[in-house]
Amino acid sequence: MRKLFSSPLFFVLNVLLVGMVAGMLLSVGLFSCSTSSSDLAPVAARDRDTLASPVLESLQDSFREVAAVARPSVVRIDVEEVRTQAIPRGEDAPWFDFFFGEPDSDRSDRDRQFRTQGLGSGVIVRRDGDLYYVLTNDHVVGNADQITITLDDGEEYSADIVGKDARKDLALLSFETGDEIPVAAMGDSDSLRVGDWVLAIGSPFGFQSTVTAGIVSAVNRRGGPDGNISDFIQTDAAINRGNSGGALINLRGEVIGINTWITSQTGGSVGLGFSIPINNVIRAIDDFIESGTVRYGWLGVSIRSVNSEFASSLGLPDRRGALIHHLFLDSPADRGGLKPGDFIVAINGTRIQDSDQLVLAVGELPVGRNARFEVIRYGERLSLEVRIAERESDRQIAELNRRLWPGFSTFPLSASVRQEMELPADRPGVLVSSVEGRTAAAQAGLRVGDVITRINGQETPEMIDFYLALNDGGRNLVLEILRDGTTLELRIAP
């Protein structure tokens, strides 16, 4: 035994045993410290306190209140249209028609009617006694034969069309009831800023009173479908089919836009929704109620935006504005002293950015009143008073095309154009870029691609020289042009 206790093997075993016991005691102590249940509970409680932010809860409460206030004024619109289709007798005819039908009946046509249904949204914007007015989109109403309005509480009413307008894609409906229904409060869309919170309310895919939230992504967007002339509010609040005509609401519960269209390859929301600013709508509501149509101001010009090269050739300080390249003879513009080549930069003190904004601004001008136009003419700024007329229909305006003056548009001869046309660099002139049909210029034989080198003997090396010579020449012009290397002379008179 004495030899066993004093052997090296016994010593090593004792050391290992002591180490194992010590390690077990140490690990138990550390584990008990790191997993104390008394310490876990306060940590979880502190996380919940941090998440329950007063700011976030306040925003949530705002959304709740806004939705509760605005939803009763937003309605669902169901439309039904009866369409007629001509079907030849030889198709879809009962078998006995072949035996007992009238002679040659297979070559005659008969009509078949079928019904199509549509869905959209609308906003109650006005009340007159028991008569309520609902604003929506023109494309929602279409050529409906029957319109049903459903309120947020499920009540249904038959509606009539008060008026429609395709240029702004707006329509006004009416229905009658003795019940008290909230009328939407109108906001100020001009006060919107990118980043503002907004709610979209409507009936996407028939799910009535759906509320979605987002921000104003951009303002003054242009290029809507079917030539809509509004400058749109862009939002990432989810807008889908059925939202058209519904309300875009600010955090004050006010309508600041009418949801109109989306950009999407799939037909569903991808965060690119567009609304007509309410400030572009309010006057239209009054026009609908008074006359059933929207009255637009008319200046009587054909306009375009300019690029940097064009601006330089005209001696303009920048590209912000719109160029008059035609005007209608005896139009408000003609009578007010405006001329081809005038670059409109402001109307009644409001700066004009481009031709799209000018179209919208002129349309909003009161008919029969004067408006002040600030223009740049031959590099100098001047102001003119023009009395605005009422715009006729597109068809009627098209009939006036023969009265366009001068009836053709020109463009500077840039280095790239000279190279393409194989013109020498020192050859002066401006390029004819378009000729309007049925005008005096078209009848005189002017063509696209002609280079105008002189007007009534005056050289036209730059655009500013062209318009000086054009306007000094009155209504009788002698053009010297270069066509396919040959110099020709054309006479133009209205």
Q: Tell me whether the omega of the peptide bond preceding residue 406 falls within 30 degrees of 0, making it cis.
A: yes
Among residues 78, 121, 139, 326, the one annotated as catalytic is 139
Neighbours of 478 (CB within 10 A): 14
Return the structure tokens found at 243: 């939202």
What residue has token string 């289709």? 85
Distance CA 261, CA 196 (A): 20
Coil, strand or helix at 281: coil
Query: Measured in Å, how far apart are the chain's first and last C-alpha atoms?
Result: 137
The closest of 220, 224, 198 to 211, measured between CA atoms, is: 198
Residue type at 462 in one-letter notation: E
Long-range contacts of 412-415 (CB under 8 A, 24+ apart): 412/309, 412/310, 412/313, 412/462, 412/463, 413/451, 414/309
The closest of 363, 299, 357, 353 to 326, measured between CA atoms, is: 299
Active site residue 244: yes
Among residues 203, 209, 244, 409, the one annotated as catalytic is 244
Please check whether residue 184 is in contact with residue 74, taking contact to mean a CB–CB distance below 8 angstroms: yes
Among residues 78, 165, 169, 450, the one annotated as catalytic is 169
What residue has token string 């459903």? 150
Q: Specify the DSSP element, H or E, that contains 440.
A: helix 440-444
Please check whether residue 169 is in contact with residue 260, taking contact to mean a CB–CB distance below 8 angstroms: yes
* Catalytic site positions: 139, 169, 244
